[in-house]
A and B are shown apart, each in its own frame.
Chain A
Amino acid sequence: MAERLRDLLSIEELTAEEIGFLLDEAKPFQEFQRYPLKKLATLRGKTVALAFFEASTRTRISFATAASRLGADTMNLQAEASSLKKGESLLDTARTLDAMKPDCIVMRHSSSGAADFVARHLEIPVINAGDGTHEHPTQALLDALTIRDRRGKIESLNVTIVGDILHSRVARSNLHLLGKFGCRFTLCGPPMWLPREFECLGKQVRRSSRIDDALEGADVVIVLRVQQERLHEPALPLDEYILLYQLTPGRLKLARPDALVLHPGPMIRGLEIDPAVADGPQSCVLEQVTNGLAVRMALLFVMIATGAEIDDARGPAHAAH
C-alpha cells in the first residue's frame, strides 16, 4: 500500500487498492477465529480506547474482542455512564481519553462527522465505528469480506439494498465500498427513505419503491434494520412496511438463485426479514459477525502494530531469520 493508513474515518476516502489490502489482511484473522487458543501477543502493551457515545452492543463487543485477541487492553467509555450526560463537550471527553495515552480511539457518535472532528484534534489514530447517518466503515469492510468469500469477488455485482437508506450509515458505506468495485445498486424502500445523493456521485444507482422489481437479478441483497423510531417521521404503519418490503422466501426467488442475503444486525425477524430467509442457506448473517472480528483485528493490527517513525531498511518482507 502506497501510504500509511492513519485513521479510518470513511470508506469514501479509501482507494480500491487500500480496501483490497485491508480485506487481504483480514484473511489470516478469519482462520485465527478457528484456533483453539485465541490469544495473540501482537498488540501486547497497546491500549484501544472504545468511545461509544451512542449505545452499541455488537460493534463494541466486536472491537473489544478483536483488541483482546490481539493482546491489547481496552478502556471503555459508554454513553449512559459518560460525563457527556453531565455536559462535557465531545472534544473535552476525547482529550481526556487521549490524556490516558491509548494507542487508538474507536469511536461511535450520533452526529455525522464526529469521528472526523475528533481525528482533526488528536494525534492518535481514530477509527470510526459509526457516525450519525454518515458512515460505518468496518461494517462495509466485513460485508465485502463476506461477499468475497462466498462469491469469490466483489467486482461488478448487482446489489439491492432494502430499507431506510436515507438514515443508514451502513448503506452509505456499502455504496461507497462496492461502488469502487463497479457494483450496480438498486435502492428499495418507501420513497421518502430513498435519497438521490448517490446518483450525484456518478455511481450506478437505481431507486425503486417496488421490492419485486428491485430484487430481480440481484447477486446480493442487503436488508437494513427498520429503525422503528423513524417510522413516525412521516408515519408509516409497521404492518404496511411488512407487507410491502419484508424479504420473504417468495420474493427472494426473484433474485439470482445464488443471491446472498446480508443484514447488519440487530435483525428483527418477522419485520424486515422472514425467519425462513434469515435462517436459509443464502443468509450470511452469522458469517458477517465472525468476519467482523477478523476485519477489526486486521484494522487494529494495521493501524497500531507497527511503529510510525523508524523504517527497516530491508523492508517488511525480510524477517530477521
Chain B
Amino acid sequence: MFARMRVVEKTQLMSATEIDRTLQRLAHEIVEKSGGTANLALIGIRRRGVPLAQRIARAMHGIEHVEVPVGTLDITLYRDDLSKIASHPVLHSSEIPFPVDDKDVLLVDDVLYTGRTARAAMNGLFDLGRPSRVRMAVLIDRGHRELPIEASFVGRSIQTSSREIVEVRLHETDQEERVMLVERVE
C-alpha cells in the first residue's frame, strides 16, 4: 500500500520494569492530585493509550481500592491531517461506557508530541458531553509541541529531534514491552 519507512533503533528509553514503575508513580500522583477519585474516569486514546489507561486504573485500585471507569477513544474522525493521507484510514469504535457529562476525565496516551492528537481527542470527547475537567497523562513527553497543550501527568520527558520517533511497545499491542528511540533513515 505504501513504502515501509526505514528506521534504525538508537537507544532503549525504558525497560519493562521502568514502564511499570513509572505507571505506578503516575497512579499515585493522579490519586494525590485529583481531590478524590469518586468522579474520575480514564479514557485511553487508541491505540496504546488504551492498555496504559487500563494499567493505571488497576494500579489506582491497588492504592485506593476504587474502581475507576476506563473508556476508549478513537480519534481518527477528528484528525486534522486526513487530507494529507491517501490510503483509507481504518476506523475503530470508541467505547465509553459511562456518561461524560460532569466527569473528571483523564485522557491517557503513550507519547505527547505535537499535541494534535490531544486536540483531536478533546474534540471527540466534547461530542459525547461536557466533562467537568479534562486532564492528560502520558508515558513520554518528547517535546516539539505545535499547539498550546501540556500534560498534567508525565512519565518521562525526553529531548528528541524531529527525525527521531519514540516507539512505545506494550505486550498488549506489540510483541514486547519497552520504549525505544528510533531514527528515520531516508
Interface residues on B, range: 35 or more
Q: Is the CB of A313 within 8 A of B3?
A: yes
Q: C-beta contact mask, B113-141 vs A, less than 8 Å → 1, else 0? A: 11011001001001111000000000000
Beyond A308-B86, A312-B85, whether A40 also contacts B93 by CB under 8 A is: no
Residue A31 CB within 8 A of the other chain:
yes
Residues of B within 8 A of A24 (CB): 90-91
Option from A28, A31, A310, A316 in Cβ contact (under 8 Å) with B88: A316
A81 in the interface (beta carbon within 8 A)? no
Q: Is A2 an interface residue (CB 8 A)?
A: yes
Contacts of B83 in A (CB 8 A): 305-307
Query: Which chain B residues numbered 1 to 46 have a C-beta less than 8 Å away from chain A?
Result: 1-3, 5
| Pick from B77, B89, B113, B128: contact of A320, CB under 8 Å | B113
Given contacts A320-B116, A321-B109, A321-B112, contact A307 B94 (CB under 8 A): no
> B75 contacts the other chain (Cβ, under 8 Å)?
yes
* Alpha-carbon separation in the docked complex, A21 to B89 (Å): 10
Bound complex: CA of A24 vs CA of B90, how far in Å? Answer: 8
CA distance A312 to B1 in the complex (A): 11
Closest CB pairs A-B (n = 10)? A321-B113, A311-B86, A316-B89, A307-B83, A320-B116, A37-B127, A321-B111, A28-B91, A312-B85, A42-B77
Binding site for A on B (CB under 8 A): 1-3, 5, 47, 74-79, 81-94, 109-114, 116-117, 120, 123, 126-129, 142
What are 5 inter-chain pairs, A to B, with CB distance below 8 A? Answer: A2-B1, A37-B126, A42-B77, A315-B1, A321-B142
Known A36-B128, A319-B117; 11 more pairs at CB < 8 Å:
A27-B93, A28-B93, A42-B78, A306-B86, A306-B87, A306-B89, A307-B84, A310-B84, A311-B86, A312-B81, A321-B117
